[in-house]
Structure 1
Amino acid sequence: MNFLYSGFLFFLLAIAIPILIHLFNFRRFKKVYFSNVQFLKAAQEQNSSRESLKNLLILFSRILALIFLVLAFARPYLSSDTAYRPETGSLVNIYIDNSYSMGSVNKEGSLLDEAKRKAKDIAKQFSPNDRFQLTTNDFEGRHQHLVGYAELAGLIDEVKISAAQRSLQQVINRQHTTDAGKRNLFSYILSDFQRNFVGIKAISTAADDQLSLVRLQANTLPNIAVDSIWSLSPVHRPGEQEKFVVKLRNYTNEAGTGIPVKLLVNNQQRALARLNVPAGQSVTDTLTFSGLSAGWQKAAVSIKDYPLTFDDELKFTFKVSSGLNVLHISGDPAERHISALFSGDGYFRMTVMPESNVVYAAFSGYQLIVLSGLKTPSSGLALQLKNFVQNGGSAVIFPDLDVNTTEFSSFLQGLSLPPVVSLSRDTLSVKTIDLKSNLFTDVFEEIPAKVDLPLVNRHFVYAANTRSSRENIMELPSGQSFFSRYRLGAGQIYLSASSLKAEDGNLSQHPVFVPLLYKIALTSIQEQPLYYTIGKNNLLTTTQLSLSPNQSLRLTSGEDEVIPELRQTPGKTLLYIADQIRASGFYELLKADSVLSSYAFNESRAESDMNFTGDKDLKQFFGKKSLTVAGAATDLSAAVMENNYTELWKLCLVLCAVFLAAEALLIRFFNKKTI
């Protein structure tokens, strides 16, 4: 048996008082004179033994009453866990799930309101000296402070539905960031325990944590969500046709029929469709439209589905580019294939530089650089070109087969490309072409069984390369590379084994040449993601930015403003926003008053799945960890207390009253004299 306030045991010394009273009877006697005391003396002798017994019983009653009174103030308890000590106080972690699914209702109202009421009831069961810590999906810093009950109740009242989405393991890890010290640790998790929240992996927690899971039961609701969207257009050009694929998912056992799907771009309706979504499945549909002008586009695809509506709209942004800058560095003035190819389309802004007059400082203004027929490729050009590619640019190299191979090999190695081994004069036909590459997306309506491939009269044989970044677009017999792609930093380099001259092969006249170069150019544009997810994506991407010491960037949406932290990487700038964005919508990146880019943020679709984890499965995820799983109607706090210790102070008060009553009865009725 242990004592919560052991200092009160000092007052047990007070049991000396009734003992002293018993030993030194301070009762004052009154003398009564009788003529004959013979009969009185006989009565005294007859009752002396009973009188002594009575006094001893009264003494024991007083001593025991005093002992149990002192023990009641010392708060004795019996502990079932030797690690639990009530005298040190407790740290109580309470997590309230405020995700979108907690907005569901049952007979008690919304699940969130029920969770807030239950959290207050749990906190009331603890001592005024205990400390509390509140956790929600927002992971707010102010919730990391330990507070008393009054302040905790105020924090609980302020909890609202949030778009942030966490896992059960993340919540438990967050609760344990505060050191409990010598305090007893209690953790309560109030949630509906969606499957996506619980996860599929084993969950770890602190060994000394008394963990309790409180399930809040909602009514099962049908739900169809706009799951995702992606673009089929390789590049967004003014006035050109745009193709976006939207995906709807049905999370319930009821089929959805005739679901209206509407696409708005800059608040103007661009496409409309109706879809049937089978129970428990997903469907996709392609939305096609055109007529966009250059600039950033703010779009949203939406459906109508009740009663859950938070996932009925998906916002996204994309940029319609006014043009693409292409630089041609030529070592052969007679070569016209590249200029003729890109000059025929107004979308491409073509610049030609002779090999003898290359302006390296202008490289950053282009998305694609094509090098052909270089006679004396220098190491300086290799260095500048490598920096250009690492920063996100694309380059295509068509060699001059009459160049000095040693010099050209040195140039290639400066770009981390394989050197030339030999020059082959065998007439060969390209053996394979990778039609699954993104360079040939939308080029063929269907993949032909036999494809007419280019012929080669002369070509370089490059050293065998085991680099994982190499991708053979076209191959010659015996596995020799004819046209390959190499990843380098944030960009890519395309290396041809043959030149564009007619005597070296027919690649420049072959039908595959035009779509190949066009797709290389179009895929050289770095596009940012169509949308981001709140609480999941904290790093945004944008083009390479440079700021003066007095400049800063701002993300704004209406009255909301976020100051991101800049992180520079090759070819792009990353914007770290932490958890500052909590509301869905469109956000513009501003440098002073100039709009640099536009971003869309949406709620996580993890909350759309209204399937929940059962109690049995919950316990399995925690393995051998001892925990309590109960419904919201259970007096969970009292149950957990009883599992850890049993307080005896009430029993002590009862026993004290019993012995006081025994003393009174002994004085009044025991050995009562009748004369």
Structure 2
Amino acid sequence: MEFKQPELLYALFLLLIPLAVHLFQLRQFQKEDFTNVKFLKKVIRQTRKSSQLKKWLVLTCRTLLLTFLILAFAQPYFPAKNPKTSSREKVIFLDNSYSMQAGGKDGELFTAAIRDLIKNLPEEQELDLFTHNEEFKNLSSSNLNTTLQNLEFTQKPLDFNTLKLKASQLFKDSTQEKDFIFISDFQKNLGINKSLDTSYTYHFIPVFPESTENISIDSMYIKHREVNEIDFRVLLSSTGNFNSPQSVSLFSGEDLLAKTSVNFQKADTVTANFKVNQVEIPNGVIKIEDASLDYDNSLFFSLNKPKPPKVVIITENAEATFLRRILSGPEFITEIFKKDQLDFNKLNTADLIILNELESISGPLQTNLTNLHGNAVPLVVIPSTNSNLNSYNSFLNRLNAPQYSEVKTREALITELAFDHPLLQGVFQEKVENFDYPKVQTYHKVQNGNKIISFQDNSGFLVEENEVFLFAAALNEKNSNFRNSPLIVPVIYNIGLKAFKSPNLYYETGKNEKIRIPIDAQKDKVVHVISENIDFIPKQRSLGNTVVISTDLLEVPSGNYTVEYNKNPKAYLSFNALRNESDLEYFLPENAKNIHIYQDINTYFNELKLASQSNELWKSFVIFALIFLIIEMLLLKYLK
């Protein structure tokens, strides 16, 4: 125990005064005669005993009364356990990732953490606070209150090492001890190590949800697309036990297009299937109803109206109009070019290329076709009976495609069909074992590849690999009757459907995406990306009749957007946050020399106050003085 005014303790010498008064104040007794002397002596003895006891008790009470009063004025106290705690430099991190949307005992974790911070922040101290995406320096308590209430969730959370680096930039004094106050739900994806460096004292304040059950819409893709029908697949995952079916809905704006249900009883990951007769869905949304995290209950997507793919057929001496009749409008824009009259500008804009019975492939054409194939343009090769195999194989080798070997000059029947191959799915209602087999007179052996249609000897007639479709034989009427077979139409048509580019239904926020929009833009005009609440000009550049939009350094909020040029809609885009926060698994380090774990925010700030504040005792001493004053009064009044 220490005293703020120890010089007042000299007043304790004043206690000698009441002691002296009590010792020298003697009461005189008057003698009187009485008949029974023996009885009188006994009464006098008893009276003197009780009088002395009362005097000593009163003396003790007065002495203690004065002692406690003097000690109270000297202001005794117990010094703080750690007086430097309040003066140490502090930086607060508040987790604003989407996982903080989960519900705790006091409501949403993020909202409850903000409420507790506002209630406990010291008024007289300036603090530095940061989140995953924002920093606030030297803010007073009142400014922090306003700042905290305006915080929003981020779509791009950082890992622990990056957060620690941001904290080091906020600390100012390199020599002073540092407190890193970390408020989070401590998801595993934070990447906190079991052993942390000793550069800071870590104060971990976990805020955990009451339940870790959650259903998330993870992703979406197109399984199959025809001209007027789209087959969507939606992947969903769950953490926890969900015994009842969960409904999944597909909207276009406010209009419900389809609805289905999924069940998680047998697996944690399921797929929802949707088939819709839509050509264009500008503002699509997949929705579920889940009481846990809110951000992963919706998945935004956009389906742009497909443009007819451009098909370029390059032929030499063979007739190719049968291909154009199959790949006709309005679904396709098909053009036929002679090998020596090829328009390379149109070739470079093609979505599908068919080489029809060329005897050889020149070097410049090989280079051009290789570049196009590298940009995901499918290629169909129909060889000539007099093909230069060296020229063909040199080209196919550049594409990592199957190659031709020897020439067979005997008749061969086409008998085997790979019914499970995507090119033949839906063509037959049932497997056909006996039909009028087409045949060829001369063909090439094809090495490797996935066989779609095969000869009777199991060698490939139509082989596919790496988006290259190889026919083993010429399809002219002299060499084959395949053109008269019922197979020709679905096979060529389904190959043509490969030219329909599966568009990106959505993009992930926080990633650098290069989005190509078919717009013939002028130099003095720019493209806008707009939604109901946002209108911004992205980083962009014009390449011919295409504008390439870059999302670099943009944190675009999740939602549906319209790409406008000259105030006219040109395309539709959608963005969604990553689903990393949906897996509600946590990791919290154990207490260590420089790691302190607290039950909640209130506990941390209460311990901070106790550690930095001294324990004042003067009030207790005043109370004791009053107690002895009351005892003295009672002794004087009632003790005889």
TM-score clears 0.5: yes
Match among 572, 580, 601 for residue 575 of structure 2: 601
Report the equivalent of 1:370: 354
Distance 1:632 1:146 in 2: 24
Measured in 1, the distance between the counterparts of 2:420 and 2:258 equals 29
> What's the TM-score once normalised by structure 1's chain length?
0.65
Q: 1:401 Cα shift?
A: 2.2
Structure 1 residue corresponding to 2:286, chosen from 282, 286, 301 = 301
2:274 to 274, 277, 287: 287
Task: Please tell me whether the aligned partners of residues 519 and 570 of structure 2 are also in contact (alpha carbons under 8 angstroms).
Answer: no
Matched, 1:212 2:203: yes
- Following superposition, the deviation at residue 381 of structure 1 comes to 2.6
* Of 223, 226, 231, the match for 1:232: 223
C-alpha distance in structure 2 between counterparts of 1:430 and 1:625, whole Å: 78
Partner amino acid, structure 1, of 2:273: T
Kindly indicate whether the alpha-carbon contact (under 8 Å) linking 1:212 and 1:629 is maintained by their aligned counterparts in 2: yes
- Relative to structure 1, the CA distance from residue 600 to residue 430 in structure 2 (aligned partners, 3 Å threshold; closer, same or farther) is same
Distance 1:419 1:334 in 2: 24
Q: 1:520 aligns with which of 495, 498, 502?
A: 495
Q: Give the aligned residue type for 1:113.
A: T
The residue matched to 1:619 in structure 2 has which SS?
coil
Q: Distance in 2 between matches of 1:205 and 1:439?
A: 56
Identity score, percent: 19
Report the equivalent of 2:130. Answer: 134
Q: 1:318 Cα deviation (Å)?
A: 1.0
1:618 aligns with 2:588: yes
CA distance in 2, matches of 1:170, 1:449: 63
How much does 1:560 deviate?
Answer: 0.7
CA distance in 2, matches of 1:574, 1:377: 33
Encode CA deviations 1:45-83: one digit per residue, 9 max, x unaligned: xxxxxxxxxxxxxxxxxxxxxxxxxxx9xx99999xxxx
Give 1:86 shift.
Answer: 8.8
**Residues 53-202 of structure 1: matches in 2 within 5 Å?**
92-106=90-104, 108-119=106-117, 124=122, 132-136=128-132, 139-140=133-134, 143=135, 146-150=137-141, 153=144, 156-162=147-153, 164-166=155-157, 168-169=159-160, 172=163, 175=166, 178=169, 180=171, 181-194=174-187, 197-198=189-190
For residues 609 and 472 of structure 2, the distance between their equivalents in structure 1, rounded to whole angstroms, comes to: 78
Paired residue secondary structure (1:439): coil
Q: Which of residues 228, 231, 234 in structure 2 aligns to 1:243?
A: 231
1:349/1:108 CA distance change after superposition, 3 Å? closer
Change (3 A) 1:545 1:174: farther
Q: Which amino acid aligns with 2:513?
A: L
Whole-angstrom CA distance in 2 between matches of 1:219 and 1:414? 58
Q: State the 1:426 CA deviation.
A: 5.2
Q: Give distance in 1, aligned partners of 2:367 and 2:425.
A: 32
Cross-structure match for 1:317: 302
- Alpha-carbon shift at residue 639 of structure 1 (Å): 6.0
Matched, 1:334 2:319: yes
Deviates more, 1:574-583 or 1:370-379: 574-583
Is the 1:296–1:597 Cα contact (8 Å) retained in structure 2?
A: no
> How far 1:214 sits from its partner (Å)?
1.0
Q: Does 1:268 align with 2:255?
A: yes
- Confirm or deny: 8 A CA contact 1:131 1:147 kept in the other structure: yes
Matched letter for residue 114 of structure 1: A
Equivalent residue letter for 1:187: F
Question: What amino acid is the match of 1:169?
Answer: F
Matched to 2:185, the amino acid is D
**5 Å matches for 1:366-405?**
366-375=350-359, 377-405=361-389
SS in 2 for 1:208: coil
- Cα distance in 1 between the residues matched to 2:232 and 2:577: 20
User: SS state of the match for residue 588, structure 2?
Assistant: helix
Q: Which amino acid aligns with 2:526?
A: S
Aligned residues: 538
- String of CA shifts for 1:472-492, please: whole Å, max 9, x gaps: 6567799976544454xxxx4
Distance 1:99 1:426 in 2: 69
**Alpha-carbon shift at residue 338 of structure 1 (Å):** 1.4
Shift of 1:359: 1.1
Distance 1:135 1:385 in 2: 50
Q: Distance in 2 between the 1:233 and 1:452 partners?
A: 30
Please state how far the C-alpha of 1:558 moved relative to its aligned partner: 2.2
The aligned amino acid for 2:96 is N
Q: Which amino acid aligns with 1:289?
A: V
DSSP-derived class of the 2:144 partner:
helix
Which residue number in structure 2 is paired with residue 561 of structure 1? Answer: 535
Q: Whose Rg is larger? A: 2
Once residues 393 and 571 of structure 1 are traced to their aligned partners in structure 2, the CA distance between those partners, rounded to angstroms, is 18
Report the alpha carbon displacement of residue 557 of structure 1 after superposing the two structures with TM. 0.9
**Structure 2 spans left out of the alignment, 5+ residues:** 1-77, 618-640
Please say if 1:498 is aligned against 2:473: yes
SS at match of 2:562: strand
Cα distance in 2 for partners of 1:298, 1:600 equals 8
Q: Which residue of 2 aligns with 1:66?
A: none
Equivalent positions of 1:30-49 (< 5 A) are: none
- Do the aligned partners of 1:123 and 1:149 also contact (CA within 8 Å) in 2? no
Contact 2:232 2:273 in 1 (8 A): yes
Mapped to 2, the partners of 1:450 and 1:172 lie a distance apart of 68
The one-letter code of the counterpart of 1:425 is T
Distance 1:482 1:567 in 2: 45
Task: Specify the alignment match of 2:53 in structure 1.
Answer: none
Task: Name the SS of the counterpart of 2:163 in structure 1.
Answer: helix
Distance in 1, matches of 2:504 and 2:96, equals 28
Find the aligned partners of 1:91 and 1:576 in 2 and give their Cα distance: 41
Q: Which residue of 2 aligns with 1:256?
A: 244
- Cα deviation for residue 635 of structure 1 reads 3.4
